[in-house]
Amino acid sequence: MIDIKDLRKSFGDNHVLRGFNMTLFKGENLVIMGKSGSGKSVMIKCLIGLMAPDSGSINVMGKDVTRLDQDSLDELRTDVGFLFQGSALYDSMTVRENLEFPLRRHKKRFEGNLNAEKRVMEALGNVGLAHAVDLMPSELSGGMKRRVALARTLIMQPKIILYDEPTSGLDPITSKEIIELMRNIQRKYETSSLIITHDVDCARVISERMILLVDGINYAEGTFNELAKAKDQQIQAFFK
Ligand SMILES: Nc1ncnc2c1ncn2[C@@H]1O[C@H](COP(=O)(O)OP(=O)(O)OP(=O)(O)O)[C@@H](O)[C@H]1O
Ligand SMILES: [Mg+2]
């Protein structure tokens, strides 16, 4: 689904990505872990064409993201759902309007069969928030906002979902609920997911494979159990 080769990105003297490689296979849950500031968000922004890398190739479902024009990027982004760090809801819109926004923007995708009301209620039902459809974001708790953001991503029925810190800022119980939702969605829609996190519990529960991002490269790869057993100090540091 995604293939990244030798990705490099610097900001002045700050060499953030120094030859990062990654492959996401169909239907899998791949977790990327890295310290704060290691370049996880930069990587994901390059991946969806929000940021241009200095060099390297990024292939998403057969398309080279670094060479797409704005229209093609827009089209690709309907297949690639992105859950931003934080939840990034529009504060001046109700929950319903937040969910309708991507639908209307990409009307073409639904070929005259937009059925907005049904899609909105189904997406909200998937995250257990049908009752919140007419609330404003300011009336939601942090966990509810995250779930609405997830519903807004799901409503486009993406083939790939990119999660940037899906559990950050949430208490352990709400984190567990979000992780459980992510797993249900995966099973129900057979999406392929890339999950960026520094939450070890999240990684343990959801990952089928993991990549550790250290010093701008894919420092180590393996299952959670393989990496948790590794002797290497840089790897151990993640699991302490
Ligand atoms: N637009 C930008 N301009 C300059 N520097 C940037 C920009 N975006 C990110 N950086 C720098 O790139 C580095 C990596 O940032 P990034 O946001 O990818 O970290 P992260 O791994 O996502 O961290 P966190 O876990 O805290 O979210 C940081 O040193 C940051 O200051
Ligand atoms: Mg980040």
Q: What is the pLDDT along the chain (240 residues), one digit of tens a residue?
A: 999 999 999 999 999 999 999 999 999 999 999 998 999 999 999 999 999 999 999 999 999 999 999 989 988 888 999 888 776 899 999 999 999 998 888 877 777 777 889 999 999 998 889 999 999 999 998 889 989 998 998 888 899 999 999 888 888 888 888 898 888 888 888 899 999 998 898 899 999 999 999 999 999 999 999 999 999 999 999 987
Query: How many other C-beta atoms are found inside a 10 Å radius of the C-beta of residue 41?
Result: 19
Q: Which residues pair with 31 in a beta bridge?
A: 195, 210
Nearest to 120 by CA among 139, 78, 84, 148: 148
Query: pLDDT value at position 156?
Result: 86
Distance 84 CA to ligand 2 centre (A): 9
Fold observed for domain 2-68+159-239: Rossmann fold (3.40.50)
Q: Kindly write down the DSSP assignment for every residue of the chain, as one continuous string.
A: -EEEEEEEEEETTEEEEEEEEEEE-TT-EEEEEE-TTSSHHHHHHHHTTSS--SEEEEEETTEEGGG--HHHHHHHHHHEEEE-SS----TTS-HHHHHHHHHHHTGGGGTT---HHHHHHHHHHHTT-GGGTT--GGGS-HHHHHHHHHHHHHTT--SEEEEESTTTTS-HHHHHHHHHHHHHHHHHH--EEEEE---HHHHHHH-SEEEEEETTEEEEEE-HHHHHH---HHHHHHH-
Cut 0.85: pTM above it:
yes
What residues does ligand 1 touch, defined as CB less than 6 Å away? 11, 14, 16, 34, 36-42, 85, 198
Domain with CATH 3.40.50.300 in the chain: 2-68+159-239
Which ligand has its closest atom nearest to the C-alpha of 214? 1
Q: Which of 9, 17, 40 to mutate to test the pocket of ligand 1 (most atoms within 8 A of CB)?
A: 40
Q: Indicate which residue's Cα is closest to atom 17 of ligand 1.
A: 41
Distance 199 CA to ligand 1 centre (A): 18
Query: pLDDT value at position 135?
Result: 96
